[in-house]
Chain A
Amino acid sequence: MVEILDELKYTKEHEWVRLEDDLVVIGITDYAQDALGEIVYIELPSEGDEVTKGNPFGAVESTKSVSDLYAPISGEVVEVNEALLDSPEVINEDPYGEGWMIKVKPYDVGEIQDLMDSDEYTEFVEKESEKL
């Protein structure tokens, strides 16, 4: 069973968001890492880059395939988890912890309310799984 944390918000593209003071931390969910398989490569933006809600901000790759990462919120990238560049497998091992990807200073923190809560995401994932 995949892990879904109560305190996070989620996107339909399987990113999670955690509010930390005035910043949002972004990563991908346990469901996403499991579906991707071993992550062998990641591409992330740089500090100071702008990300736009719903647009790709990077990509994760397994041996077999590439998946875009979509920004859950618009804002400026203030911190990047550069440890992932050399050890992308950390995303598989600890998707909600050490596997965080970027911290963003949002232009409108209210955008976070458009995202799914854990119950909604649980239901969403169940439907996705049925499709397989």
Chain B
Amino acid sequence: MSRTALYEVHRQLGGKIVEFAGWEMPVEYTGIRDEHLAVRNSAGLFDVSHMGEIEIHGREAASLCQWVTTNDIASLKSLQAGYTLLCNPEGGIIDDVIVYKFSDEHFFICVNAVNTLKDYEWIRDAGSRFKAEVLNRSPEFSQIALQGPNSQGILNGIFKMSLESLRRFYFQPLKWNGADLIVARTGYTGEDGFEIFLPWDRATELWDKIMDKGRPFGILPCGLGARDTLRIEMAYPLYGHEIDEDINPIEAGLIRFVKIGKGDFIGRESIINSMEKGVRKKLAGFEMIERGIPRQGYGILRDNDVLGAVTSGTLSPSLQKPIAMGYLKTGVKHNGEVEIEIRGTKRRAKIVPIPFYKKSEKERKKW
């Protein structure tokens, strides 16, 4: 079992530690609901050092990235980041990742903790014909995510650069007390916020500084529990739940991150084939009509036919109602209503558009 550089900090803050993807991580400190709402309303700080970091550099680094991912890497400007998928030749999703472009010859990829080694080996082997070096730099990095509408105000008091001009999905390398940081305006919560990559042993120092500057804003340390409820409200997929190697981007509703026209890439033909033939299942959102909280693995039924299964579910802290994502067989008439089998009892649920949580338009413009 691995521990992040912040393990002792989490213990001191009263974090409940659980095992996640081989890491001992805090699932909550004061309570998932409070932490969740702190992110929606002000700011929350997450240790996400378990995430993996893979670096690619060399003359053909851009071509390699273009070959192993589905989105159009060529459209990224320097210091811009993009959400994309790694697919296998069958079109199945190996992982969802964020690619950070430093230059045409230098990229950085942030991957899911559980997939770090798999992704590294996949990119290295699948890209072996390109003149580029692939490095697994995960052990060298800590990663801290500051999320919520007050994130910029908090960080402006810490870094010399003004974060005003850093747009969403852009990043900036900077020096902080002699350490090399990458500050990216990205996140997994649906709120404004930043993800900061920094040398492993500097995490405690920055964490304490952010907590200190964030205190007047009511910042809370947040665990994996709130991270999960926040991403479910936004219907962001999580590997092992909504996506895995047997699910393709059309089924998962992620086809907008696949650019068929960009040229060849791994999985392209299979994905085109699925687009033409259609898919057997599609990801959908659900809200309970009757009581109960849907959880991963619960069956989705209609008139005793099994239509699929729940992939993620929770009581939404923002909406105060049970919500879920899950796969539904295509071509079945359901009139927007299904049943979810909760511990042996069928409960009515309705199919709803995702994301579940939407900021009001007025608030949205603040970004």
Contacts and interface: CB of A to CB of B under 8 A. Distances in A.
Interface of A: 37-38, 40-41, 43, 59, 61-64, 66, 85, 132
B315 A63 contact: yes
15 contacts: A38-B31, A38-B32, A38-B33, A40-B33, A41-B292, A41-B315, A59-B343, A62-B32, A63-B229, A64-B27, A64-B228, A64-B314, A66-B293, A66-B343, A85-B291
Given A40-B293, A63-B317, A66-B343, 9 more contacts: A37-B32, A37-B225, A41-B315, A61-B293, A61-B315, A64-B228, A64-B314, A66-B295, A85-B291
A59 B345 CA distance: 13
B233 to A, nearest CB: 12
A122 to B, nearest CB: 22
A132 B33 CA distance: 24
Interface string B304-341: 00000000001101000010000000000000000000
Contacts of B293: 40-41, 61, 66
Nearest to A56: B343
Contacts of B228: 64
Interface string B224-242: 0100110000000000000
A37 B31 contact: yes
Contacts of B31: 37-38
Contacts, number: 41
Interface of B: 16-17, 27-28, 31-33, 225, 228-229, 291-293, 295, 314-315, 317, 322, 343
Q: Specify which of B17, B229, B315 lies most central, judged by the most chain A CB atoms within 10 Å of its CB.
A: B315
Nearest to A85: B291
Contacts of A40: 33, 293, 315
B39 to A, nearest CB: 14
Contacts of A38: 31-33
A37 B16 CA distance: 9
A93 to B, nearest CB: 13
Nearest to A58: B343
A72 B264 CA distance: 63
A40 B343 CA distance: 17
A64 B225 contact: yes
A132 B15 CA distance: 13
Contacts of A37: 16, 28, 31-32, 225
Contacts of B291: 41, 43, 85
A132 B16 CA distance: 10
Nearest to B315: A40
Nearest to B32: A63
Given A40-B315, A41-B315, A59-B343, A64 B32 contact: yes
Which 4 A-B residue pairs are closest in the complex by CB-CB distance?
A: A63-B32, A40-B315, A64-B225, A38-B31
Contacts of B28: 37, 64
B312 to A, nearest CB: 11
Nearest to B228: A64
A38 B27 CA distance: 13
Chain B CB count within 10 A is highest, among A59, A64, A132, for A64
A41 B295 CA distance: 13
B292 A43 contact: yes
Contacts of A61: 293, 315
Contacts of A43: 291-292, 343
Contacts of B229: 63
Given A40-B315, A43-B292, A63 B33 contact: yes
- Kindly name the residue among B31, B293, B314, B343 whose own CB sees the greatest number of chain A CB atoms within 10 A: B293
A59 B292 CA distance: 10
Counting chain B CB atoms within 10 Å of each CB, which of A38, A61, A85 scores highest?
A38
Nearest to B223: A64
Nearest to A35: B16
Nearest to A68: B343
B106 to A, nearest CB: 39
Nearest to A40: B315
A61 to B, nearest CB: 5
A63 B225 contact: yes
A38 B343 CA distance: 21
Contacts of B343: 43, 59, 66
Contacts of B295: 66
A111 to B, nearest CB: 25
B343 to A, nearest CB: 6
A44 B247 CA distance: 37
